[in-house]
Amino acid sequence: MMLILLVCFAALLAGIAPTDELLPKDNLIADGGFEEVRSFPVSTDPYIAEQVQNGCDLTDGPIVTLPSNFDQVCDVLRKLRVVEGAPDREVHSGKRAILMHGGFYVRPNVKAAPGDAFRVVIWAKGEGTVRLAASLYPAEGACIAGCAGNEANIQEDEWVRVEHTLEIKREHAAVKRAAFYIQTTGPVYLDDLSVTRIAADSL
């Protein structure tokens, strides 16, 4: 009995289940729950400073806080803020999520080859559309192709699951890696991003 009480008490101390338990173990994206952040003075990062000068809403002050898996802007980024709050309310799980309008690439790049397929999932809440996609690269050099899911309409005040299957066509024979990105057409809260490799025979 005492042991059960101790276990219950430990579970209480631990709070809710860590967000990683809601994400697949084979998630190829680091920190898909957006729980880890990187804070630094805008002035120390010329790339981020340029985005702010161009009108991107990243911060209210001299310090910017970005999700740790932020790699670079995709096309246009109007707004990207890390938000904190309660599960199923401001965030889908854990303590943090992001509020984003526009697009950005997430870390890391993933090894990829013609014929590969990936299941890409994110939870979203807000107003606009959400699209998950990948830019495809050869061993060296610029992007040679892409694959994208259909835009999903998000017009709800509840968290909804967006899922795409992204396939790399065999005609893109030189593809060696994929860089995944998220795009929205309005301010949308996003959490629990996962990218998992699908076996070809399960398609």
Tell me, letter by letter, the H, E, C secondary structure of 87-154: ECCCECCCCEEEEEEEEEEECCCEECCCCCEEEEEEEEEEEEEEEEEEEEECCCCCCCEEEECCCEEE
Pick the closer one to Ca ion by CB: 116 or 191: 191
| Alpha carbon of residue 166 to chain centroid | 15
Closer to Ca ion by Cβ: residue 33 or 128: 33
Among 32, 67, 87, 94, the residue binding Ca ion under the rule CB under 5 A is: 94
169 is written with which tokens? Answer: 């066509």
Quickly tell me which residue has 């803020």 as its tokens.
81
| x/- track of binding to Ca ion for residues 172-191 (CB under 5 A) | -------------------x
Between residues 66 and 97, which has the closer beta carbon with respect to Ca ion?
A: 97
Q: Which is nearer to Ca ion, 97 or 122 (CB)?
A: 97
Site mask, Ca ion, residues 96-135, x = CB under 5 A?
-x--------------------------------------
Which distant-in-sequence residues (6+ apart) come within 8 Å of 175 by Cβ? 112, 113, 114, 136, 137, 138, 144, 145, 168
Q: Measured from the CB atom, is 87 or 103 closer to Ca ion?
A: 87
57 DSSP 8-state letter: B
31 binds Ca ion (CB under 5 A): no
Residue number, nearest CB to Ca ion: 94
Please measure the distance between the N-terminal and C-terminal CA atoms of the chain and give it in whole angstroms. Answer: 48
d(CA 190, CA 100): 7
Name the minimum Å distance from CB 116 to Ca ion: 27
Smallest distance, Å, CB 178 to Ca ion? Answer: 23
Residue among 32, 33, 87, 103 that touches Ca ion (CB under 5 A) = 33
Minimum gap (Å) between residue 14 Cβ and Ca ion: 16
The CA distance from 109 to 75, in Å, is: 18
Instruction: Specify the stretch interacting with Ca ion by CB under 5 A; choose among 15-23, 78-86, 122-130, 149-157.
Output: 15-23
Integer-rounded Cα radius of gyration of the chain: 18
Return residues touching Ca ion (CB under 5 A): 19, 33, 91, 94, 97, 191
